Amino acid sequence: MSIEARLRALRGVPQRYRTDRRSFDRLVTETLAEVVAEVEGRFGHEVSNVAVEVEEWPPDDDDIAESDDTDVLGLYRGVPVGDRATGYHLALPDRITVYRGPILASCRSEAETRREVRLTLLHEIGHYVGLGDDDLP
């Protein structure tokens, strides 16, 4: 199921899951460790030189083409592993940003939030390893 379809299905739900920033950050950190282990096992190379951060909402930015900022749950900015040339050393870390507001707006429970964070991280790390949107959850 595409991210847009998941969000459309959840938007009509009146009750939303709420958590404080510290708990959400901890959930992202725990989920990231699981996702990185899975990706490293599947693709056979280390996930490195990538920083993961949490922000409340996506910025009003030309890089984010969606018309509704609740459609953007995460964003990868950097050079995918397969596109890195020999001169890539000493580069600043790539960045994966997880947007707390849109994720919480689409989830009713901690379990749904954890699942959505997992799917978001898998999607963005997929970009890191060089997969396109059509190849990602």
Expressed as residue numbers, the domain containing 7 is 3-135
Q: What is the 3-state secondary structure (H, E, C) of the chain?
A: CCHHHHHHHHHCCCCCCCCCHHHHHHHHHHHHHHHHHHHHHHHCCCCCCEEEEEECCCCCCCCCCCCCHHHCCEEEECCCHHHCCHHHCCCCCEEEEEEHHHHHHCCCCHHHHHHHHHHHHHHHHHHHCCCCHHHCC
What pLDDT is stored for residue 69 in this prediction? 47
pLDDT tens digit sequence for 85-125 = 777 777 788 999 999 999 998 898 999 999 999 999 999 99
CATH of the domain at 131: 3.30.2010.20
Percentage of the chain beyond pLDDT 90 is: 42
- Number of domains composing the chain: 1
